Homo-oligomer: A and B are copies of this chain.
Amino acid sequence: MQLGKIVGTVVSTRKDEKLEGLKLQIVKFINVDGTFTGSLVIAVDSVGAGVGEVVLVAAGSSARQTDVTKDKPVDTVIMAIVDILEVDGNNVYVK
């Protein structure tokens, strides 16, 4: 999975019908120190995550293994909200 921070939202009315009701979040990938890597992805939220939160994102067919994304044309899902990142024994991020 990739580490990311939710920075915004996508609104779309014309889309595949299986996407109705899904929340599309803009996620910028981050390093463990919280800096942005420069890449972003649009991910479906499956855990009620909001703007500003640090999350984990799963991609590919694995993104369809949640209840809200099953069998849908979705290749990225937010499947966890991060509470703590511990690196080399230090908490480098605490929610």
Binding site for B on A (CB under 8 A): 1-3, 7-16, 18-19, 24, 26, 31-32, 40-43, 46-49, 51, 56, 58-66, 69, 71-77, 79-89, 92
Distance of A49 Cα from B14 Cα, bound (Å): 9
Q: What CA separation (Å) do A88 and B78 show in the bound complex? A: 18
Report if A80-B9 is in contact (Cβ < 8 Å); known contacts: A40-B31, A65-B64.
no
State which of B1, B2, B18 has its C-beta within 8 Å of the C-beta of A74. B1
Structural contact, A63 and B56, CB atoms closer than 8 A:
no
Residues on the B chain within 8 Å of A79, using CB: 15-16, 19, 73-74
Q: Report whether A8 and B60 are in contact in the complex, using a CB–CB cutoff of 8 Å.
A: no
Contact A14 B48 (CB under 8 A): yes
A42 contacts B12, CB within 8 Å?
no
C-alpha gap A62/B59 in the complex (Å):
10
Q: How far is the CA of A72 from the CA of B67 in the complex (A)?
A: 10
Partner of A72, one of B40, B65, B88: B65
